[in-house]
Structure 1
């Protein structure tokens, strides 16, 4: 394996590490959704700001008496109010991110192995690098898609708790995707770039190997003439 090919494969190691960091940040931060809120009974005198991630969040409400801050625990809120999120989509999003983490880690590990040596097996070699990056990208895309469905089916209409809804609070049409969500979109892009880099690196390797059989054939022909 030539130096260029090894170098290009090693670049994908850094890309895989970046995707791991992006996914971990997405799961740990509290900005999958950001929203504003108003109290329907007095919209001019009320204001609210809400943000939450897959597990935690924060809510700030002001009813003309000053801002009050509340912590949001998604698991507890789901137990208290099954209408808050579509439970199956929430679980599936977390599961897909865990799958993306696993395959991102595998793509990083095998990028190092392929840089240091030339594995004979397909799964451990260059075809495996395509596989791990493609699977990681698939799970990232699945998580993005599931959360988008969650947003358009549920979160764009209301992100308030049942107590807030009973108190006439609403965030209808005032919600948007936060930066935690876009971290996962970024991971999709990085894995796609990894696949392109692997293709460029291995294609270069194949091009350099093409003349070799011709040279060997000419040498063998000359020997036969003698």
Structure 2
């Protein structure tokens, strides 16, 4: 593998690191779903905002006497209110995210290795680069797809706790997917770029100069004489 091809392979390391950062940010931020809220008994003065991540969230509610801020424990909320989310979808989303993160780290590590040497093992070499990146794409889109299903089944209708609903708060029709979710989609796009980059680096053909052929014919003519 020539120097230019190794440079292209190293570019996949950079993109993999960016994907790792996006996945980590998605896991740590609280914007997988965002929703505005209101009280059905006081729609003119009440205002609220709820932001939920996979594990934590924030809630800002104002019933007309000032804004109150609350922290949300998503896991605890699901325990006290099983109808809040489909638990199996949440678990599989988390598993998909962790698997995607693992594949992204592997893609980054083996990109560095392949930019320096030519490994003998298939999984450590170019076939492995395809495997790690395609696996990362699969798990990231798997997690993202499950969260979309979660959103359309439950979260678009309600992100409020039981106590909030007893106090006439509702978020029905006011929810949307937040930027934490889109981080996962962008990470999968980076791995797609990696796949095309590896293909370009390992399958590009440099045109051979015709001069060696001419030289060979000249040498043959000399030997004939």
- What is the TM-score of this pair, normalised by structure 2? 0.91
Aligned to 1:5: 5
Output one character per residue of 1:24-44: Cα deviation in whole Å (capped at 9) or x when no partner: 000001111111001111211
Alignment of 1:88-99 (within 5 A): 88-99=88-99
Aligned to 1:195: 195
Give the whole-Å Cα distance in 2 for the aligned partners of 1:118 and 1:58.
Answer: 49
Q: CA deviation at 1:83?
A: 1.0
Aligned to 2:119: 119
The aligned length equals 216
RMSD after superposition: 1.9
Q: Specify whether residues 102 and 210 from structure 1 end up closer, same or farther in structure 2 by C-alpha distance, changes over 3 A only.
A: farther
Q: Secondary structure at the match of 1:99?
A: helix
Give the whole-Å Cα distance in 2 for the aligned partners of 1:210 and 1:146.
Answer: 50
Structure 2, unaligned stretches of length 5 or more? none
- What is the TM-score of this pair, normalised by structure 1? 0.91
Output one character per residue of 1:117-146: Cα deviation in whole Å (capped at 9) or x when no partner: 011222111111011000001000001100
Q: Secondary structure at the match of 2:44?
A: helix
Q: CA deviation at 1:209?
A: 8.9
Q: CA deviation at 1:75?
A: 1.2
Output one character per residue of 1:92-135: Cα deviation in whole Å (capped at 9) or x when no partner: 11100000011101111110111110112221111110110000
**Which one has the bigger helix percentage?**
1
Aligned to 1:78: 78
Q: CA deviation at 1:79?
A: 1.2
Structure 1, unaligned stretches of length 5 or more? none
Give the whole-Å Cα distance in 1 for the aligned partners of 2:206 and 2:68.
Answer: 67
Aligned to 1:46: 46
Aligned to 1:109: 109
Output one character per residue of 1:156-198: Cα deviation in whole Å (capped at 9) or x when no partner: 0010001111111110110011111111011011001111111
Q: CA deviation at 1:210?
A: 8.1
Give the whole-Å Cα distance in 2 for the aligned partners of 1:209 and 1:136.
Answer: 34
Q: CA deviation at 1:208?
A: 3.6
**Structure 1 residue ranges (4+ consecutive) displaced by more than 3 angstroms after TM superposition:** 208-211
Residue 24, structure 1, aligned to residue 24, structure 2: yes
Give the whole-Å Cα distance in 1 for the aligned partners of 2:165 and 2:35.
Answer: 15
Give the whole-Å Cα distance in 1 for the aligned partners of 2:147 and 2:53.
Answer: 11
